[in-house]
Structure 1
Amino acid sequence: MNSVRSVFYSVFTSMVLTVPLLAADPGVTDKEIAIGSSLALSGPGGYLGTQTNHGMNAYFKSVNEAGGINGRTIKLVAYDDEYNPLKCIENTKKLIETDTVFALSSFVGTPTVGKSMPLWKNAKVPLVGMYTGAEPILRNPLCRYNLHVRAPYSAEASAIVDAAVNNLKFKKVAIFYQYDSFGESIKKNAETALAKYGLTPVAYGTFDKATLDVKAGLAAIKAASPEAVIMVGTYGTHPILATFVKEAKSAGMTQTVFFTPSTIGPEDYAKELGSDAGNCVVSQVVPPYDDPQLSVAGEYKRLLKKYYPGDSPNFVGLEGFVNAKVLVEGIKRAGKDLTREGLVDAIEGMSSCDLGGITVTYGPNDHEGMDKVYLTCIKGGKYTEIKDWTNIK
């Protein structure tokens, strides 16, 4: 009889002990939470992916050193996709099926994110934060497992137009854009923003990413005598846009204000402009990392120096850092019994959540954490948020 009781007790105990393991979502153990990322760590977009990764991982490392979350440390599994959509698909499949990560974070690029989205959407694996502001497919319609942190491209276009019309009192705005689907989409965003004020662009100019020749586009725009030019290009086009600004000023457009969204790579753009940075405005989706009044900026710079001493602070890295803060806050709020659905619910419950001077708000019908766009100018080679517009024109 005692032997029967012993066997029953052993079986019962075994079942009880294994229930939490059976109930746990993939990527979660008693000691660890696995987070996956696919991003460009080499190739033309290598800077974007590397800095996003370093910003994200710097925060994860600090969380781990402080004891983790509910006794669990974060394990980051990151793969290089070279900004190649097919490689991103392979990486995402591996992260979900082989590495069985709990969640994804900080994917980089519209084409890579767009092509890999069906994988995590169908597997119901949350992706928290991505380096793209594209809206069709990725944001509209809303997907429960896409949790954006940055503002969309349309918000950047609106902020630029609002500043040109309201702050600078301009009515004559031209658009100089990259001649492809990306440039066309941001052009339409700018046109929509102008239409709110009953305005249409006074001129258009286009450029090819493969050449620095901006003469045709500049001639078309200069003929309309615009007060402002909205310039649109992807990362890596900063030499072209800087060339446009320099040649425009040489041609007499010294009072024109040149606006650019964050997509170009702000630090490289500032270096390329050099002494011609006057009257140049760049929209950003995170605040300047040199702002002494923002604790998140100081925290990012301190941790970047600690874990990646060879890196210089930058907007891309700060965005990855903020992505990580949103994910960690969501995991904390989801509680010790961690599930993917619980993580999504927890993030959707974040309202006016202060991450150190940056506020994010989510909801069941709102998966865009940050709505604010920061308009910056270049002073002494550094970006500062524009508070007074009187010195811009």
Structure 2
Amino acid sequence: MKKVLLIVMLLIGTLGLVACTEEEKVQGVTETTITVGNTAATTGAFAAVGVPFNDALKAVFEVVNEAGGIDGRTIEFITYNDEFNAENGLAFTEKLIEEDQVFALVGHFGTPTVGATLDLIQEVGIPMVYAATGINGLYFAESVGNPVMAVQPIYLTDGRLMTARAVKESVYGANGDQALPANAKIGVLYTNDDVGNSIKAGVEAEASILDMEDQFVYEAVTADTVATAVQKLKTENVQAVILAVNQAPFGYSLSALYDADLDVPVFSSYVNADVTVVNPLQAPTDIYVNAWVDIFTTEGQAAVQDFVAAIGGASFLTEEQKTAYYTNSFAIAGYIAAKIFIEGLERVAANEEELTWNSYIRAMEEGPIDVPMGGSVDFSGGKRWGIASMSLLKYTYTPAQGETPASEAFLKVREIETIEEIEAK
């Protein structure tokens, strides 16, 4: 009922705009401020993702505000803790739109909330910039004016890429330089949820393209069933494993593979490029993940310095938090979300247009937008594809030696490439 009333209210407001002057703004915009918001998990299991993500958003907005804002307007940010719960996420998103009157949803967070609110966002027309998930519902081939503007790679694309890497990269054998044997089987562990099924759809699509459907073995997993599923893959003598899961299942799946002594190359999603999820003493030897952020190029290094400066200058962070965030992939994601949103504001200002939902979306569709530390995203022509090319990272762990502490990292082993480039190997 609340959703219906919200849509009716906005439709009435839209009718009223027909007779208004050009000076009238949409909600969340005054002469001096732009109010935006999101809902995110800041307690519970996903707080390790939501807290640094939101803190980085706030850090970038603080930098912008201290420099005078965009076109004379500072950015105000409202966020609610949805605890990674779809019902909470929907309720808080309605609150942001209806009661808080935000201009846009920035860094719309997590699979449950994003999945539960996509219909509402499109019905209302409020800009949504950067979804902190890659569910396939975010993909639109040609949808000019669509307010949904994802940046992260869509999970279907993610699944295709990790499958192409598993099949085409020479990372097998004793020295890690051999091709996958022609008739080798590949195991796929997936969670039976939006994330797992979205990635699995990409795996299946790529397996079909490569004419290898019969060589893939699929097992759904939970924390309680993963050990049994891994044993089934071991019985099938799989030569590689794809983990179509997100952070928590990624961790327990790695442990299960280790416990079963199934030590084959593992390929997984960009969302798992986080060392805190890996137990280095209970994990397979070769762990690979996709990555759409590249901090190793000259441009990437420049963006890293800008990110570090934003985090380092954040007035609300402790020194301990700042140090932790400098290498935190979720903080980097929040930084990117804020920078992409700001690019749209700057384009509207450069066009000398009034800031409205429509003018903002048009500006975002003008052409490709450089993504800090990672290529570009292109919304022109109504494309809502997210980023469609990624690099490949490998997990490395160095044990402590004397006074030198142990270290771990995901390091780049392949450059950013498209699916077609990987398939051609």
Q: Counterpart in 2 of 1:240?
A: 252
* Partner residue of 2:191 out of 178, 183, 187: 178
Q: Which amino acid aligns with 1:162?
A: A
Please give the alpha-carbon distance, in whole angstroms, between the structure 1 residues aligned to 2:365 and 2:95. 27
Identity %: 23
Q: Counterpart in 2 of 1:199?
A: 212
Q: Counterpart in 2 of 1:157?
A: 159
Please give the alpha-carbon distance, in whole angstroms, between the structure 1 residues aligned to 2:330 and 2:153. 14
Q: Secondary structure at the match of 1:383?
A: strand
Please give the alpha-carbon distance, in whole angstroms, between the structure 1 residues aligned to 2:149 and 2:194. 24
Please give the alpha-carbon distance, in whole angstroms, between the structure 2 residues aligned to 1:296 and 1:245. 36
- TM-fit CA distance, 1:108: 1.3
Q: Alpha carbons of 1:183 and 1:355: their partners in 2 closer, same or farther (altered >3 Å)?
A: closer
Q: Alpha carbons of 1:203 and 1:369: their partners in 2 closer, same or farther (altered >3 Å)?
A: closer
Q: Secondary structure at the match of 1:59?
A: helix
Of 297-306 and 151-160, the range deviating more from structure 2: 297-306
Q: In the TM superposition, what are the counterparts of 1:65-80 in structure 2 within 5 Å?
A: 65-80=66-81
**CA deviations over 1:258-285 (Å, ceiling 9, x no partner):** 1111344622233x13474531101233
- TM-fit CA distance, 1:83: 1.2
Q: Counterpart in 1 of 2:126?
A: 125
Say yes or no: does 1:387 pair with 2:399: no
Say yes or no: does 1:260 pair with 2:268: yes
Q: Which amino acid aligns with 2:293?
A: V
- TM-fit CA distance, 1:188: 2.6
1:204–1:220 contact (8 Å) kept in structure 2: no
Runs (5+) with no aligned partner, structure 1: 1-17, 389-393
CA RMSD after TM alignment? 2.6
1:35–1:101 contact (8 Å) kept in structure 2: yes
Report the number of matched residues: 363
Q: Counterpart in 1 of 2:336?
A: 322
Please give the alpha-carbon distance, in whole angstroms, between the structure 2 residues aligned to 1:275 and 1:305. 34
Q: Alpha carbons of 1:291 and 1:165: their partners in 2 closer, same or farther (altered >3 Å)?
A: farther
2:223–2:252 contact (8 Å) kept in structure 1: no
- TM-fit CA distance, 1:216: 2.1
1:150–1:369 contact (8 Å) kept in structure 2: yes
Q: Which amino acid aligns with 1:46?
A: A
Please give the alpha-carbon distance, in whole angstroms, between the structure 1 residues aligned to 2:335 and 2:296. 11
Runs (5+) with no aligned partner, structure 2: 1-19, 171-178, 398-407, 416-425
Q: Secondary structure at the match of 1:236?
A: helix
1:377–1:384 contact (8 Å) kept in structure 2: yes
**CA deviations over 1:134-157 (Å, ceiling 9, x no partner):** 113x32475701001111112211
1:359–1:370 contact (8 Å) kept in structure 2: yes
- TM-fit CA distance, 1:288: 5.1
1:121–1:145 contact (8 Å) kept in structure 2: yes
Q: Alpha carbons of 1:305 and 1:207: their partners in 2 closer, same or farther (altered >3 Å)?
A: farther
Q: Secondary structure at the match of 2:219?
A: strand
1:266–1:282 contact (8 Å) kept in structure 2: no
Of 58-67 and 346-355, the range deviating more from structure 2: 346-355
**CA deviations over 1:312-335 (Å, ceiling 9, x no partner):** 332222112111111100011012
- TM-fit CA distance, 1:352: 5.2
Please give the alpha-carbon distance, in whole angstroms, between the structure 2 residues aligned to 1:131 and 1:318. 12
Q: Which amino acid aligns with 2:345?
A: I
Q: Which amino acid aligns with 1:95?
A: L
Q: Counterpart in 2 of 1:166?
A: 168
- TM-fit CA distance, 1:370: 2.2
Q: Which amino acid aligns with 2:202?
A: N
- TM-fit CA distance, 1:376: 0.7
Relative to the length of structure 1, the TM-score reads 0.84
Q: Alpha carbons of 1:49 and 1:354: their partners in 2 closer, same or farther (altered >3 Å)?
A: closer
Q: In the TM superposition, what are the counterparts of 1:347-358 in structure 2 within 5 Å?
A: 347-351=364-368, 353=370, 355=372, 358=375
1:245–1:258 contact (8 Å) kept in structure 2: no
Say yes or no: does 1:41 pair with 2:36: no
Please give the alpha-carbon distance, in whole angstroms, between the structure 1 residues aligned to 2:83 and 2:254. 26
Relative to the length of structure 2, the TM-score reads 0.78
Q: Alpha carbons of 1:367 and 1:181: their partners in 2 closer, same or farther (altered >3 Å)?
A: closer
Please give the alpha-carbon distance, in whole angstroms, between the structure 1 residues aligned to 2:158 and 2:311. 27
Please give the alpha-carbon distance, in whole angstroms, between the structure 1 residues aligned to 2:113 and 2:161. 26
2:135–2:194 contact (8 Å) kept in structure 1: no
Q: Alpha carbons of 1:289 and 1:57: their partners in 2 closer, same or farther (altered >3 Å)?
A: farther
Please give the alpha-carbon distance, in whole angstroms, between the structure 2 residues aligned to 1:182 and 1:85. 14
2:160–2:202 contact (8 Å) kept in structure 1: yes
Q: Which amino acid aligns with 1:363?
A: S
